[in-house]
Each structure stands twice: as C-alpha cells, then as structure tokens.
Amino acid sequence: VDVVHAGRTQSQRDAIIKRFRRGEIWVLICTDLMARGIDFKGVNMVINYDFPQSAVDYIHRIGRTGRAGREGVAVTLFTERDMNEGRLRPIANVVKQSGGDVPAWMLALRQPKTYEKRRWKTSAPKRSDAGVTTKSTYDRRQLAKRRNIVQQSKRGQKRSAEPKGSGDDDDAGSWNTSGSWNAGGGGGDDGGDWNTADKWNES
C-alpha cells in the first residue's frame, strides 16, 4: 500500500508508479492528481472514498480501471448529504447512460443548482466526520459503555482523594453582626474579642 498526492515530490511519485506497475504495490491511495493522464492496464477496481465534484471528475476517476477492453469495477461511497445537495444525481445519470443498473430513486433525486456546481469546484466535500471502521454497531456501543464506566470510576477516585477540612483549628473565629471579631482559642489565655470601638478586650 502506498499513497500519491501533491505533498510527494515528483521523484517519489515516479518511483511509486513504477512499483505499482510492477505489482509491488497492490493498493494505491491517491487524490485527483492521478485521475488523468495515467494509464494502468491491470487495475481491477477503483473506489471513490471522497465523492467526485462533478460527473466529469467521476468519469476520469473510474477510467483508471477497465482499460484496453478489460472489465473493471468502480465503487463510489456517498452520504445522505451527497443525495440532498444534488451531487448523486449527475453520477447516477452517467452510470445509467453507460448501461449500468441504477435504482429509480437515484434518478428521481434533485439536480444540483448552477451555483452549487461552482461551489463544489472550489470546495471539496469533507469526510472528516465519516470514520471507517471494521467494528459492528454493537461492538462500538459496548466499547463506549466501557469507556464511560472507566471515566466515571476515575472521577469517583479523584473526589475521594480530595482532602477534607478538619474544623479543629485552634485559631478559628468568626465575625459577629456588629463587625467585631470573636476569637476562638478553646479557653486559652489569649482568648478575647474586638469590641465595636476597635479595642481588644482581654478575657
């Protein structure tokens, strides 16, 4: 497995392509950088993880498979947002026109607006919130429950470890309603209080 994108140097790209042609690389992950001008005869499948921004982009992408009279398979992943925003309908039309089997509901989806097409050319759809996992829904829920239990246990341990006030300080005292300080002392020789005239009364 290897990757080709704009962050790779030209020499790195050339080396990866040579290894892919020789069969040393079986899976090549790439951006639209590889969608045009590159001919691979032995590619059996193309998977579109990011949805194509136009029908033309879709045609160029899937054109990497099924070359020279060979058969190929193209798989395109899409979301509910792709359907609602009109991205899926043009792709469904292309598949239908090429003789593919397309469900009727796809052909009934709304067509994208002109301004939407312009926006897609400058802003590709994001897939950051669409994680790919091999775990089932049940396993993911069980894992989330276990994590929640561990977090609650840690919070409980933290609370139990916090020091509590002793309330046995010999110097404890309080301000009375007249604004004077009543000193504690548990009957010590220094016991006393401040009176309202700001004078210290010895006990």
Structure tokens at 118: 């312009």
Which domains are delineated in the chain?
35-122 (3.40.50.300)
Q: Which residues of 108-124 are buried (b: 16+ CB within 10 A; e: fewer)?
A: ebeebeeeebeebeeee
Give, for 159, the enclosing helix (H) or strand (E). Answer: helix 137-161
Give the per-residue pLDDT at 128: 54
Backbone φ and ψ for 75, nearest 5 degrees, come out as -120, 125
Q: In whole angstroms, give the CA distance from residue 16 to residue 18.
A: 5
Give the per-residue pLDDT at 15: 92
Q: In whole angstroms, give the CA distance from residue 74 to residue 24.
A: 22
Give the per-residue pLDDT at 187: 46
β pairing state of 2-4 and 28-30: parallel
Per-residue pLDDT tens listing for the chain (203 residues): 888 888 888 999 889 989 988 889 899 888 887 777 777 877 889 999 888 888 888 888 888 887 777 888 889 898 888 888 788 888 999 999 988 888 999 888 887 777 776 766 666 555 555 455 556 667 777 888 888 898 888 888 777 766 665 555 555 555 555 555 555 544 444 555 555 455 555 54
Q: In whole angstroms, give the CA distance from residue 13 to residue 34.
A: 10
Burial of 38 (0-12, 13-18, 19+ CB in 10 A): middle
Backbone φ and ψ for 11, nearest 5 degrees, come out as -65, -35
- In the block, tokens 């033309």 appear at 56
Got the DSSP string for 107-146? Answer: HTSPPPPHHHHHHHHHSPPP-TT----SS-HHHHHHHHHH
Query: What's CA 27's distance to the chain center, in Å?
Result: 24
Say whether pTM exceeds 0.85: no
